[in-house]
Amino acid sequence: MARLDIIDSVSAMPKPLRIGLLLFPGCMPAGLFAFSDMLHAANRRANGMLFETHYVALRAGTVECAHGLSLHVSRPLDLASLDALLVPGFWAESVRQVDDMILANAGLVSLLAARRKNLLLWSYCSGVCLLAESGQLNDQAATVTWWLAEAMAQRYRKVKWQSERNCVVTARTATASGVNGYLPIAEALIERHVSPDVWRDLVNLMVLPRAVQPHRAFQAMSLIEQSSSLLRQLHTLVEQLPAEQITVQQLAEQLCMSERTLARKVRSETGVAIAAYARCIKLNQVSDRLIHTTSPVSVLSAELGFSSDSNMRRMFKELTSLTPLEYRQRFAR
C-alpha cells in the first residue's frame, strides 16, 4: 500500500509550468535572470518542480543585448512547447527609439501575434510595447511607462492602458512597469501556484525592501525617470545647489541658455513654471531624507541649503499638505 500511495502521490503532482525567458536584440536581460532565480528559490521552498524556465530567442545563437552584452541561446523560440513567455524591456529614451526597436523586431512581433490562445504572455517595462504591437493586449488591461502613456494610448487604442498602476494581471496576460517589473509578476505567479507565505519568505531572503509609493506631489520626480536631456541636467543641477541659491538666472547660466529659453522649454516639457518645478525637485530631496533617515528636520533643512528651517517647512506643507513630521510618520519605512 505504501508503494501505491507514493506512486499515486507522484502522478498527482502537477506538471511544471514551462516558462520561456525571451532574449532579443537590444533587450535588458537582468530582470530575466532575477525572475529565474526567484522561481528556482520557489521550487526549492516548495520542495518540488513547479516552475521550469528556459532562455529562448527567435533563433538559436548569439543575441546582442543592451549595452554590449552578448548571450548565447541554444533554444529557438517554440511557442507550442511553452505555457508562458516573459518579454523583458529594452533601452529607450524616446518614442522614436521605441518605434525603431519594434521595427527591428518585426519577426518576433509577427510570431507573438500568431501565438495560441492558451499561451500566457507576460512583459514589463518597455517590453510591453512589443506585446501591444503584436495585438495580444487588445481588449486587455495593461500597464504603460508614464512617459510613453500618451503615445501608447494614441497608437494602441484597443488596449485598456492603466498608467497609474504598476502591475496588471489578467487571465491571458501580465504587465508591469519599470525595469524591476518582473518582481510583481513573480509575486502574482508564486502566490497563485505556491502560497503568499512562501512569497513573503522569499522576499525576506532575496529582495530588498520595495520603495514606498511616493506622495502624489513627487511621482515621476526621480532623476532616472526624466525623459529629456534638459530635465536630467536640470535635476542634477538643482539637487547639487543649496536651496537658497536656486534662481532661474543661476540655472540658466549653468545650463548655458537664456532665462526665457529655459523657462519656455521647462514649461513645454513639464507643464509648470521652472521655479515651481525646481522647488519640487528640492523638496523631493527633503521627502527622500524624511523617508530614509531619522535626521531631525532642522538638520535636513540645513544640509539642503534652505534659508531657514521655517521656510522649508512652509514650502513643504504647501506642496504636500503635510508637515515634515506628518510626512515622515506616514511614509517612512
pLDDT of residue 147: 84
pLDDT of residue 1: 36
Average confidence score pLDDT of the chain: 89
pLDDT of residue 165: 87
Site of grid cell 492558451: 118
Query: What pLDDT, in 10s, does the model give residues 278-295?
Result: 999 999 999 989 988 889
Percent of the chain predicted with pLDDT > 70:
91
Q: Examine the pLDDT at 13 and tell me if it is beyond 70.
A: no
pLDDT of residue 212: 57
How sure is the predictor about 146, in pLDDT bands with cuts at 50, 70 and 90?
confident
Q: Which of 129-143, 159-173, 186-200, 226-240 has the lowest mean pLDDT?
A: 226-240
Question: How distant, in Å, are the alpha carbons of 41, 118, 172, 208 from that of 198?
Answer: 10, 27, 24, 16
Q: Which of 33-37, 127-131, 164-168, 179-183 has the lowest mean pLDDT?
A: 164-168
What nine digits make up the cell of 296?
531631525
Domains of the chain: 2-206 (3.40.50.880), 216-331 (1.10.10.60)
Residue 263 to residue 267: CA distance in whole angstroms: 6
Q: Biggest alpha carbon distance in the chain?
A: 87
Q: Examine the pLDDT at 191 and tell me if it is beyond 50.
A: yes
Q: Examine the pLDDT at 3 and tell me if it is beyond 80.
A: no
pLDDT of residue 57: 97
pLDDT of residue 310: 95
- Backbone Cα Rg of the chain: 24
How sure is the predictor about 317, in pLDDT bands with cuts at 50, 70 and 90?
very high
With b for 16 or more beta-carbon neighbours within 10 A and e for fewer, the 252-286 pattern comes to bebeeeeeeebbebbeeebeeebeebbbbbbbbbb
pLDDT of residue 75: 85
Q: Examine the pLDDT at 210 and tell me if it is beyond 70.
A: no
What is the reported pTM? 0.66
pLDDT of residue 226: 66
Query: What pLDDT, in 10s, does the model give residues 237-292?
Result: 998 999 999 999 999 999 999 999 999 999 998 889 999 999 999 999 999 899 88
Overall average pLDDT of the 200-209 stretch? 78
Single-letter amino acid, residue 80: A
Residue 279 to residue 209: CA distance in whole angstroms: 28
Query: What pLDDT, in 10s, does the model give residues 82-122?
Result: 999 999 999 998 999 999 999 999 999 999 999 888 999 99
Q: Following CA atoms 231, 324, 211, 161 in sequence, which dihedral angle do they give, to the nearest 10 degrees?
A: -60
pLDDT of residue 93: 86
Residue 44 to residue 208: CA distance in whole angstroms: 20
pLDDT of residue 143: 94
- 136-141 contacts: CB < 8 A, separation 24 or more? 136/112, 136/172, 136/173, 137/173, 137/175, 140/170, 140/172, 140/173, 141/168, 141/170
Residue from 292, 268, 280 nearest 320 by CA: 280
Percent of the chain predicted with pLDDT > 90:
70
